[in-house]
Amino acid sequence: MDRASASQSSAARQSLIVGIAAFSVVLALAVPAFGHGAGWVEANCIARGSSTNHYNMSSWKRANAKSYAYTGRYEGYTWAGGCWDNDDVHESKNEPQETVNHGEGPDCSGFTFKAWAMKITYGATGFSHWLTLGDEHGPYTAANFKAGAGPTSVIGSQPSYSQTTYMDAFASSTHIGMIYAEGTSNNQDQIIEAKGEADGTVIATRTYRGSSSYTAVKRDSWTP
Amino acid sequence: MKHRLHGESADVMRKSRQAAAAHSGTRRQRRTVLVAAIVGAGLAVPAAGVAARLFESGDSFELGLHHNPPIFADAGGHVTLEVGGVCGIHSILESLECNLEGTVAHRYRGEEVWTHSELEPTNTHENLIGTMLHLEANGPPEAIEYYFEVSDPSSGVMELLPLGGEATPATLTVVAEPTEITLADEAPLFPYVPRFVAPWGNGPLEVGFVPGNESTSTAPSSFDIDAHGRLLVYDAANQRLVISRGEQELAFIHSPTQASLVDVAVAGNGMIFLLELSPGGDSTLDLYRSADDLSEFIHVGPISESIADQLRRARDGVVAHQYPSDRWWPVATDAGTAIELGEQMELSTTGRPSGDDTELLFKVTEDFFQVGAGVDTSEAWSVKVATPHRFGEGQLAEVLPTGDVGVVVRQIDGDHIVFRILRITRTGDLLFDGTVPTGDWTDAAPVSRFRVSPSGSLYQLQTTEDAFQIVEVDW
């Protein structure tokens, strides 16, 4: 399922989510604990497309983005997903990809979209603060980010440390990770990224800076 | 994020739940009212109500510090020590940043008195604060120990870096007049011989590869060589360790970890260790060792660092490395016994312990790399190697059985990227200078693409579109 079809199916899914959520309230008294695995999003998240899963903001700093991204550390990963709690537990681990958007955690581009506080409309400038438990992926893929789509820009491939700073990102055609803490040498950085089903969302030492597969990109118009 | 019980040093976020209590009680009460209202509204909008309650429960004040250590300093010169931080309560938008202040304490190793220097903002946008130290060294080997004490006055949160403060300070090694070499513009592309080739796949003679789809690709994440010359490959996609026993003969040990980034190291007695380099779903990095009959892996314990990038053989077991703190932590003995978390911290060193009691220091910048002996050795030496190109990441620095030092570092010249391979003496004589292709078709073993066998042979992990291979470079 590509991003477009995922988006198209989201409306139908949202109707289902509302129904499931309403039903879950009825069950809540008898079954207070939420289960893991498929249905985690429905049980825990503000539905995708809801007006209550974000706030429009007049400013968003790199420091804001860094703090925000850190809430995702140790949480899950879901392809095309975008909702996580803050309990350091990787729920719905290793779920099959068919359950897309039903497990905890973002994917790499959804994580970047939310940490960079981007608007839901493709190409729109400005800032939206997304609740971590607000389920949203956004319209951008890793390849979009690599190309500098919307309010993002390309820095270049294999950049020097002076060309980048924290919360810039390295994007390939299939993956994007943000610079949590820059290194000073060795082409190494601490990257915060939604890494995959097995690992979830983590901070790890990576050498994307030295890889020809990756391009350094940045969000435009950070608040100083 | 939950507060971690065990030590995290340089570059790792630490959080202080207790600070939340010191934060505005009025604000907390106001939020409680707001949450109650939302939960009440949840009867009409159930999903939002549930989410708001969980969102509130995950609230915590966070302060994290990070620091890139200079490692080397020239005698009589100066060095800037800088620390950065990020803090805030993630669900309160207006407090997602902080204004750090604090001190750095330093002293020469062996002295009792600490000198405290105020830290000043060096980049307020990035929350960086630092100060410049002027060094006065009588001669190498000498070391300066230091630690940071940083606070955010508005929240009252204070943190030490490293976590143990003066009990486990960071180290800056002072060296005098390193022997300097400037590399030639070009070095020959050196031939290499494939020693292990396996097509991508999940079969008994294959090694796994799963392409990334809005995630990182999963490929072999590490390899090592034992004293018998056997190659061991961590096949992350198939969650197994592959052991090459000869041509077309492979053995497997099932891996107990689901983490896709795992390093492997063989201790001196043949015991095999696995270390998670990214936490497989929890907040710890766990270490495993092989059973005596190599039938399975047994959990040894967690390591004290929550970011690690390498596991290597050491004189008495295995050590883990954290970047960019550049500290090596002994994590298990040759017998497979775990070293307690507190001891890991106390025994950590900036240099890597190797087989001849040398603690090898290694630092790579874009313009040069520097290797040298640590301060606990009788012979101090340092060699600085400059490049007319640009260096990328340092892949390897090893004391070889001959006593020479082997170094592998990425070399970037525009679009032309190779690994530069060097053997140098401790007095700065260049014994070998060659290059090999990067062979990094996919993300694999980001900082573990090269290993030196116990006998001194150099191996490289390569990936191509069709296959995975390990080659030997005759250096």
- Concatenated DSSP letters for B95-164? GS----EEEEEEEETT--PPEEEE-EEEEGGGTEEEEEEEP--SSSSEEEEEEEEEEETTTTEEEEESTT
Taking CB atoms and an 8 Å cut-off, how many pairs form between chains A and B?
246
- What separation in angstroms does the CA of B177 have from each of B75, B370, B428, B448? 8, 12, 12, 31
pLDDT surpassing 60 at residue A18: no
pLDDT score recorded for residue B323? 80
**pLDDT averaged over every residue in chain B:** 80
What ipTM was estimated for this complex? Answer: 0.75
pLDDT score recorded for residue A9? 40
- What separation in angstroms does the CA of A212 have from each of A56, A67, A170, A172, A204? 36, 29, 11, 9, 19
Smallest CA–CA distance from A160 into chain B, residue: B366
Band the pLDDT of B375: cuts 50, 70, 90: low
In 3D space, the residue among B474, B443, B328 whose CA is nearest the CA of residue B461 turns out to be B443
Smallest CA–CA distance from B87 into chain A, residue: A67
CA gap B275, B401 in Å, rounded: 26
Torsion of CA B109, B110, B116, B122, to 10 degrees: 0
CA gap B52, A53 in Å, rounded: 10
Beta strands in B387-473 (DSSP E): 390-399, 405-413, 416-424, 430-437, 450-452, 458-463, 467-473
- What separation in angstroms does the CA of B158 have from each of B15, B21, B87? 10, 14, 11
In 3D space, the residue among A52, A46, A54, A55 whose CA is nearest the CA of residue A17 turns out to be A46
pLDDT score recorded for residue B45? 27
pLDDT score recorded for residue A67? 83
Are B364 and A185 within 8 A, CB to CB? yes
In which residue are the tokens 């031939």 written? B191
Backbone angles phi, psi at B233, to 5 degrees: -120, 130
Give the closest-approach CA distance of B113 to chain A in angstroms. 30
Band the pLDDT of B231: cuts 50, 70, 90: very high
Nearest to A187 among B127, B212, B410 (CB): B410
CA gap B101, B152 in Å, rounded: 6
A107: chain B residues, CB-CB within 8 Å: 214-215
- Concatenated DSSP letters for A66-128? HHHHHTTTT----TT-EE--SSS---STT--GGGTTSSSEE-HHHHHHHHTT--SSTT--SEE
Mean pLDDT, residues B363-375: 85
Are B55 and A90 within 8 A, CB to CB? no
Nearest to A62 among B68, B125, B394 (CB): B125
Q: Between residues B365 and B48, which one has the greater pLDDT? A: B365
pLDDT score recorded for residue B173? 85
Q: Between residues B34 and A130, which one has the greater pLDDT? A: A130
Are B393 and A186 within 8 A, CB to CB? yes
In 3D space, the residue among B321, B211, B226 whose CA is nearest the CA of residue B277 turns out to be B321
Give the closest-approach CA distance of A166 to chain B in angstroms. 8
**DSSP 3-state of B420:** strand
Are B279 and A158 within 8 A, CB to CB? no
- Concatenated DSSP letters for B252-286? EEE-S---S-EEEEE-TTS-EEEEESS-SSSS--E
Q: Between residues B357 and A105, which one has the greater pLDDT? A: A105
A186: chain B residues, CB-CB within 8 Å: 323-324, 364, 392-394, 447
By the 10 Å C-beta count (0-12 exposed, 13-18 middle, 19+ buried), B138 is classed as: exposed
Mean pLDDT, residues A200-224: 91
Kindly state the percentage of chain B with pLDDT values over 70.
80
Band the pLDDT of A1: cuts 50, 70, 90: very low
Torsion of CA B448, B454, B455, B456, to 10 degrees: 30
Smallest CA–CA distance from A105 into chain B, residue: B281
**CB A104 within 8 Å of CB A83:** yes
pLDDT score recorded for residue A214? 94
pLDDT score recorded for residue A125? 95
Are A129 and B93 within 8 A, CB to CB? yes
Mean pLDDT, residues B13-26: 30
Are A186 and B43 within 8 A, CB to CB? no
Q: Is B229 left (phi over 0), alpha (psi -120 to 50) or beta?
A: left
CA gap A57, B298 in Å, rounded: 50
Beta strands in chain A (DSSP E): 54-57, 82-83, 105-106, 127-130, 152-157, 169-171, 176-182, 189-196, 200-206, 215-219
pLDDT surpassing 70 at residue A139: yes
**pLDDT averaged over every residue in chain A:** 81
B58: chain A residues, CB-CB within 8 Å: 71, 85-87, 132
> pLDDT of B454-470, one tens digit each?
999 999 999 999 999 99
- The one-character DSSP state at B7 is -
A204: chain B residues, CB-CB within 8 Å: 261, 277-278, 307, 309
Give the closest-approach CA distance of B421 to chain A in angstroms. 15
pLDDT score recorded for residue B334? 93
**CB B61 within 8 Å of CB B88:** yes
pLDDT score recorded for residue A29? 32
Q: Is B464 left (phi over 0), alpha (psi -120 to 50) or beta?
A: beta
Give the closest-approach CA distance of A195 to chain B in angstroms. 5
pLDDT score recorded for residue B315? 84
Are B282 and A158 within 8 A, CB to CB? no
Residues B179, B184, B189, B191, CA torsion sign: negative
Give the closest-approach CA distance of B371 to chain A in angstroms. 13
CA gap B284, B306 in Å, rounded: 6
Are B96 and A68 within 8 A, CB to CB? yes
In 3D space, the residue among B428, B429, B461 whose CA is nearest the CA of residue B444 turns out to be B461
Q: Put the strands of the sheet holding A152-157 in their side by side order.
A: A152-157, A215-219, A169-171, A176-182, A189-196, A200-206
Backbone angles phi, psi at B54, to 5 degrees: -65, -35
Give the closest-approach CA distance of B85 to chain A in angstroms. 9
**Count of CB atoms situated within 10 Å of the CB of A87:** 15
pLDDT score recorded for residue B73? 84
pLDDT surpassing 50 at residue B305: yes
- Greatest pairwise CA separation for chain A in angstroms: 57
pLDDT score recorded for residue A25? 35
Nearest to A68 among B54, B90, B323 (CB): B90
CA gap B129, A109 in Å, rounded: 31
- Extract the tokens encoding B88: 């805030």
Nearest to A131 among B51, B84, B283 (CB): B51
- Extract the tokens encoding A105: 């955690």
Q: List helix spans (H) across B300-417.
A: 341-346
pLDDT surpassing 70 at residue A211: yes
pLDDT surpassing 50 at residue B434: yes
- The one-character DSSP state at B2 is P
Nearest to B366 among A63, A160, A181 (CB): A160
Residues A87, B214, B439, B241, CA torsion sign: positive
- What separation in angstroms does the CA of B224 have from each of A21, B9, B107, B230? 51, 28, 39, 8
Are B1 and A66 within 8 A, CB to CB? no
**DSSP 3-state of B300:** strand
> pLDDT of B86-135, one tens digit each?
776 555 554 556 788 999 999 988 899 999 999 998 877 777 788 888 87
Q: A190-204, B315-329, B451-465: lowest mean pLDDT where?
A: B315-329
Are B214 and A71 within 8 A, CB to CB? no
Contacts of A66 (CB under 8 A, 6+ apart): A166, A167, A180, B86
Smallest CA–CA distance from A110 into chain B, residue: B214
Nearest to A175 among B212, B394, B446 (CB): B212
Band the pLDDT of A32: cuts 50, 70, 90: very low
Q: Is B42 left (phi over 0), alpha (psi -120 to 50) or beta?
A: alpha
Model confidence pTM above 0.80 = yes
